[in-house]
Amino acid sequence: MHIYMYISYFTAMGGASFSQPWRSMPLNNEKNLNFIKSYKPQNNDVENLRILLHGPVGAGKSSFINSVESVLLGRVTGRVMTDTISGCSFTKKYKAFKIHKDPESFYPFIFNDTMGFERRNGVNVEDIKLALMGHVTEGYKFIPGVRLKESDQEYNSCPSLDDRVHALVCVIPADSVSLISDEVVRKMRDVRLAASDMGILQLAILTKVDESCPEVKNNINNVYKSMYLKAQVDKFSLMLGIPQNCIFLVKNYESELQTNEDINGLILIALRQMIVYGEDFINNL
């Protein structure tokens, strides 16, 4: 039986797991947290490492920023507004989010949240490309089908290295990989190729892993044993061209009222790699 038929069969029967994790992921939360807390960009021209999130509507981009903040603050937060029922993007403006390290300072990295891609509407691909180069200023309102022009007030004509994006992250729901329209895939691929031309390193996170697999819903530690999730990683890698070792599985904080070390571990591993990739990009320049 073909491996994907095998996986699909057992998923339909309630999920199936490998006997051993298909990826070795030592969840050393303390070590990863210490790395993040001690991180500082090595290039003096960069005050904050900039991480841009993109992906289809409802993928969990804003929720991931909230989840990162929840991990670092030790309590569940919801500063970035999200929506659970709208069929269109809830994020309308280009926003930058910094996370408090202590009452007097912030972590030296920034998340930029964007409007989601849609088959017919959603964010304009050209706006994302301009954001990668640092031409889009915070507060710019995305208008489907309309791109930012050099004559617009929100256009930054002389971006610094600090204004540019240093790491690009594609966010996809694990249970929707097969449902993404060809048009949305084309848009994400277009952004990927543009980022590659700029030398920006990229990775992806698959969200909602607990909603995708019963075995993971029962125990989040089964995430890298799940046959179904392994198939989604393989499928998405082929779809967008992102190597499998650059694709991470995470669960955002959504229904929880308190943080959880197992959920934290998945988020910290992904965040650490974003920082490493961003730092590599800056150093390569």
Q: What percent of the chain has pLDDT over 90?
A: 83
Kindly report the CA angle at 285 between 125 and 97, in degrees rounded to 5?
50
Q: For residues 121 and 115, give the distance between their C-alpha atoms in angstroms, rounded to a whole number.
A: 10
pLDDT (tens digit per residue) in 158-178: 999 999 999 999 999 999 999
Cβ-contact 58, 172 below 8 angstroms: no
Query: Which token pair is 157?
Result: 């004509």
Note the pLDDT of residue 6: 44
Instruction: Please report the pLDDT score of residue 11 as a whole number.
Output: 46
Q: What is the pLDDT along the chain (285 residues), one digit of tens a residue?
A: 444 444 444 444 346 889 899 998 777 999 999 999 999 999 999 999 999 999 999 899 999 999 999 999 999 998 876 665 555 667 889 999 999 999 999 999 999 999 999 988 899 999 999 999 999 999 999 998 899 999 999 999 999 999 999 999 999 999 999 999 999 999 999 999 999 999 999 999 999 999 999 999 999 999 999 999 999 999 999 999 999 999 999 999 998 999 999 999 999 999 999 999 999 999 998
Question: Is the CA virtual torsion 219, 220, 223, 224 positive or negative?
Answer: negative
Give the N- to C-terminal CA distance of the chain in Å, as an integer: 48
| Residue 113 per-residue DSSP state | E
Closest CA to 93 of 59, 127, 129: 127
Query: Which residue bears the tokens 């992102």?
Result: 242
Distance CA 127, CA 192 (A): 13
- The reported pLDDT for the residue numbered 15 is 67
Please state the domain extents for the chain.
1-283
Query: Can you give the pLDDT at residue 81?
Result: 67
* Residue 202 to residue 211: CA distance in whole angstroms: 25
Which amino acid appears at position 191 of this protein? V
Instruction: Identify the CATH class of 1-283.
Output: alpha beta
**How far, CA to CA in Å, does 211 sit from each of 41, 50, 88, 189, 216?**
36, 29, 20, 26, 8
Containing 12, the helix (H) or strand (E) segment is: helix 3-12
pLDDT tens per residue, range 177-221: 999 999 999 999 999 999 999 999 999 999 999 999 999 999 999
CB 161 within 8 A of CB 43: yes
Whole-number pLDDT of residue 107: 98
